[in-house]
Each structure stands twice: as structure tokens, then as C-alpha cells.
């Protein structure tokens, strides 16, 4: 007698993933996370850059009113000179000293009084054999009132980030739409990163701005930082009279250390 057996294979139900499958999923998630982080980081950096550029443009607009006034302002001096060249030189010297007092970018310009005339001016003028040797020919000038307000409280002020701190003081002294220029900034655009008690204007990255006065020394469109102490670009180098008529070869620059020079205004 023959017996037939129906043999069936039982399949065991399997739950979960194999190790290989888990590794593949983890690898995919890692790649997606890296791409997401890179995208987020790029978005944040772009937002910081755009905010910084917007801040530079806004600050420049506020400062421009004061800067452009130097072309037409009646300057605080009196001098009796017949030659036009001498008058231009004196006016430019006083103008530069006025800029240094009203738009300083160094603590030293606030701490020490502006001098009229500067020693460089006197040296140049004496070299022209037309010395200022009478009382009537002396420049009569006084520091502007805003400079005295800058000096009201300077205890503890350090040189660290002094450009951004000077920028804060300047903006605070300018009125825009019945409000101080500094009041148009947000709270996170003002800080004290060096802890000396003097506020700084911060860029979109949270870093102190740079604030410079520059001159086109060779009249070639290339601007370099102007040393307002030495006035080297005006006395002893280049033409002694050509740049003295207006501000065409001088400019101010608000710059972020995280952006290139092409982004400075």
C-alpha cells in the first residue's frame, strides 16, 4: 500500500529590517540631513549678508546729510589772506579738522582737541614763503558743539572697536525725522562686544562695523585710508592745491569685515 504525503513548507513570518537595510536608510537620512543643513546655513548667510548691505545703505544715507553739508557750510575760522591758493588751503585744513571733530573714527580724535591749523598745514604754508606771522593772519576757530557732546563721558573707553563706537556716537548726534539716527536701528544692531561700556553699531553678523575716512591720493579712483593726524595726502605729497576746493577726493566708508571692499559704500 502506497502512502502519499503532502509535504508543505512553512514560511516563518519576518518582522523588522536587516542590518543592510538599516545601514542604507541611515545613509540616505544622513545625506538628506547634510543637504538640509547646507541649505539652511546658506539661507542664514545670505540673510546676514543682505541685512548687512541694507544696514550699510541706511547708515550711509543718514551720514550723507552731514557729509554733504561740508561743501557749503560756513566754517569756523577767520583769516586775512589775499591769495586764493592760501584761502583754499586754509579752508581745506579747517574742513578736515571739522570732519575729524564731527565724524571721528578714532577715540583719540574725541579725547584730544581739534587743532586749527594743523602742524602739517603750518609746515606747508611756511614752505611757500608766506608764513602766518601776524595776529590778523591766524586762523580763529573753535571745536564744534557736537564734539563737546562726544566728550561728555569717556571714562573707560578703549581703542578696541573704536570705529564702530564712534559710528554710534555720530549716528546718535544726527536727527532724522525728529528722532536720533541711532533710534532707527534695531536693538540687535547695537551691542558692546568689547565690554568697555561704549555701544557699537553691529552688522548682520553681529560684528562691529568698520568706519573709515578715505582719500583718492593720486586722483586715479583708488581710495586709501586717510590719516587725519598726519594729513599726508594733502601736505607734502601730490598737488598742494588741487584737492582743496571740495570733497571730491575724500569719502567716508562704512564696511563689514565679513564683506569685500566692493560692498562698502
Span 252-262, pLDDT tens digits: 999 999 886 54
Give yes or no for a contact between 199 and 192, defined as CB atoms under 8 angstroms apart. yes
Please name the residues in contact with 96: beta carbons below 8 A apart, sequence gap of 6 or more. 118, 228, 231, 234
Quote the DSSP letter at residue 211: E
Task: Categorize the per-residue pLDDT at 119 as very low, low, confident or very high, splitting at 50, 70 and 90.
Answer: low
Whole-number pLDDT of residue 187: 93
**Closest by alpha carbon to 167, among 228, 107, 105, 112?**
105
| Comparison of pLDDT for 32 and 1, the residue scoring more | 32
Peptide bond into 78 cis (omega under 30): no
Residues forming beta bridges with residue 211, ordered by sequence position: 254
| Comparison of pLDDT for 34 and 183, the residue scoring more | 183
Residue 246, pLDDT > 60, answer no
**What is the percent of the chain where pLDDT is above 70?**
65
Report the distance separating Cα 155 and Cα 142, nearest Å.
24
Task: State the cell numbers at 4.
Answer: 502519499
Of 30-39, 47-56, 112-121, minimum mean pLDDT range = 112-121
170: number of Cβ within 10 Å = 24
Report the distance separating Cα 100 and Cα 185, nearest Å.
24
Q: With a threshold of 0.75, does the pTM exceed it? A: no
Report the distance separating Cα 1 and Cα 200, nearest Å.
106
Angle at alpha carbon of residue 143, lines to 239 and 197, rounded to 5°: 110
Residues forming beta bridges with residue 191, ordered by sequence position: 200
Report the distance separating Cα 200 and Cα 235, nearest Å.
33
**Most confident of the following: 126-130, 152-156, 177-181:** 177-181
Of 29-43, 194-208, 225-239, minimum mean pLDDT range = 225-239
Q: What does pLDDT average to over the chain?
A: 75
Peptide bond into 20 cis (omega under 30): no
Whole-number pLDDT of residue 78: 62
Amino acid at each position: 500500500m502506497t502512502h502519499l504525503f503532502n509535504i508543505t513548507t512553512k514560511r516563518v513570518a519576518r518582522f523588522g529590517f536587516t542590518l543592510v537595510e538599516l545601514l542604507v536608510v541611515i545613509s540616505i537620512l544622513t545625506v538628506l540631513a547634510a543637504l538640509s543643513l547646507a541649505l539652511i546655513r546658506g539661507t542664514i548667510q545670505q540673510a546676514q549678508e543682505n541685512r548687512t548691505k541694507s544696514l550699510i545703505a541706511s547708515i550711509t544715507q543718514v551720514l550723507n546729510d552731514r557729509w554733504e553739508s561740508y561743501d557749503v557750510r560756513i566754517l569756523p575760522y577767520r583769516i586775512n589772506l589775499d591769495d586764493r591758493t592760501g584761502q583754499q588751503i586754509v579752508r581745506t585744513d579747517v574742513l578736515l579738522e571739522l570732519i575729524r571733530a564731527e565724524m571721528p573714527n578714532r577715540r583719540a580724535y574725541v579725547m584730544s582737541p581739534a587743532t586749527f591749523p594743523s602742524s602739517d598745514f603750518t609746515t606747508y604754508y611756511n614752505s611757500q614763503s608766506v608764513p602766518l606771522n601776524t595776529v590778523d593772519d591766524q586762523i580763529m576757530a573753535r571745536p564744534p558743539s557736537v564734539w563737546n557732546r562726544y566728550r561728555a563721558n569717556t571714562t573707560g573707553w578703549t581703542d578696541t572697536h573704536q570705529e564702530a563706537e564712534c559710528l554710534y556716537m555720530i549716528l546718535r548726534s544726527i536727527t532724522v525725522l525728529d528722532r536720533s539716527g541711532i533710534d532707527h536701528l534695531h536693538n540687535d544692531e547695537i551691542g558692546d562686544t568689547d565690554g568697555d561700556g561704549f555701544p557699537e553699531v553691529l552688522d548682520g553678523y553681529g560684528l562691529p562695523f568698520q568706519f573709515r575716512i578715505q582719500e583718492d591720493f593720486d586722483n586715479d579712483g583708488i581710495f586709501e585710508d586717510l590719516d587725519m593726524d598726519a594729513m599726508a595726502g594733502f601736505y607734502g605729497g601730490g598737488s598742494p592745491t588741487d584737492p582743496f576746493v571740495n570733497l571730491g577726493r575724500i569719502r567716508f566708508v562704512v564696511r563689514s569685515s565679513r564683506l569685500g571692499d566692493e560692498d562698502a559704500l
